[in-house]
Amino acid sequence: MILTVTQFNTYSGNYEASDAVTALKTSILNSAQEIVSNYIGFDPESAQRTDWISPIGNNRLYLFAHPITAVSSVELNGVSIPSTDYTIHDRYLRLNSGVWPEGIETVKVTYTAGWSATGNTNLLPDTIKMVILQIATLMLMEAGENIGVTGKSFGENSRTFINYTNMSKWLSKLDEYKIVRLL
């Protein structure tokens, strides 16, 4: 989990701390991070990853997470590519000479990408933090049967209205971090 329950408490103003409430808040934070991860196309938390890439015949090889902070290995058709043959950029590897040959999942890259929640470098962008906290707070507000069910009576008839949370308003703030994959 990239954010803590303490950060969530501070943002939401809800400081309840029983074991059950802390477990619920942890679950909500995990769910909010998962919603953000699904929207941007990768888990924003820094981690080692292995991707099989299908190059399209140019000198850039876009990976499935960013920012790229380290590359452990690059293999083309099972043959190791020396680190001197490519340059690491925020979202891609650039071949210094020539192009990556076209092929389906012919390049295997083991690398570290994502942001750290703590420390002095490579910190999680505030926009991502805020969206996770906003979504988590909305989810907390919906807890305890508070999902926005209302009713209206019209003489002998009645209608029930269910309000749901559309998170696209918050998620759209993350568009610049999205990774789009063409299949």
**Average pLDDT in the 116-143 region?**
86
pTM of the entire predicted model? 0.81
What's the 3-state SS for 98-150? CCCCCCCCCEEEEEEECEECCCCCCECCHHHHHHHHHHHHHHHHCCCCCCCEE
Q: Are residues 139 and 106 in the same domain?
A: no
pLDDT-derived band at 144, boundaries 50, 70, 90: low
In a domain, 91, yes or no: yes
Domain interval for residue 153? 5-43+123-174
73 lies in a domain? yes
**Per-residue pLDDT, 138:** 86
* pLDDT tens-digit map of 82-107: 999 999 999 999 999 999 999 999 99
Q: What is the pLDDT of residue 181?
A: 65
Number of domains in the chain: 2
Where are the strands (E) in the chain, listed by range? Answer: 47-53, 60-62, 68-76, 79-80, 86-88, 92-95, 107-113, 149-154, 157-162
Domain-embedded: residue 164: yes
Same domain, 57 and 146: no
